[in-house]
Structure 1
Amino acid sequence: MSGGRLEELAAEFGMVERALGDPAMLADPPAYARLTRRHRELTPVVTLYRERGALERDLAGARELLSDPDMRELASGEVAALGARLAELDAELEVLLLPSDPDDPKDVILELRAGAGGAEAGLFAMDLLRLYTRYAEGAGLKVNVLDASESDLGGASKVVAEVSGDFAFRAFKWERGVHRVQRVPATESQGRIHTSTVTVAVLPEAEQGEVQLDLSEVRIDVFRSQGAGGQGVNTTDSAVRAVYRAGTPDEITVVCQDGRSQIKNREKALVVLASRLAERERTAREERERTERASQVGTGERSEKIRTYNYPQNRVTDHRLEGETKNFALDAVMAGGLSPVVAALGRAERERQLLELGEADGAGRGDGRASHGAA
Structure 2
Amino acid sequence: MLLQLLLFLHSLHLGHSLNQEGLLLHRIKLTFDDPDNIFSNWKTRDANPCNWFGISCDSLTHSVTSIDLSSGNIAGPFPSDLCRLRNLNSIYLFNNSINSTLPKNISDCRRLKHLNLAQNLLTGTLPSSLSDLPHLKHLDLSGNNFSGEIPASFGKFRRLESISLVENLFSGEIPAVLGNISGLKQLNLSYNPFSPGRIPPELGNLTELEILWVTDCNLVGSIPDSLGRLKKLVDLDLALNNLNGVIPNSLTELVSVKQIELYNNSLTGELPAIGWSNMTALRFFDASMNELNGTIPDELCELPLESLNLYENQFEGELPESIVKSPNLYELKLFRNRLTGRVTERFGKKLAAVVG
TM-score, normalised via structure 2 length: 0.18
Between structures 1 and 2, the one with greater helix share: 1
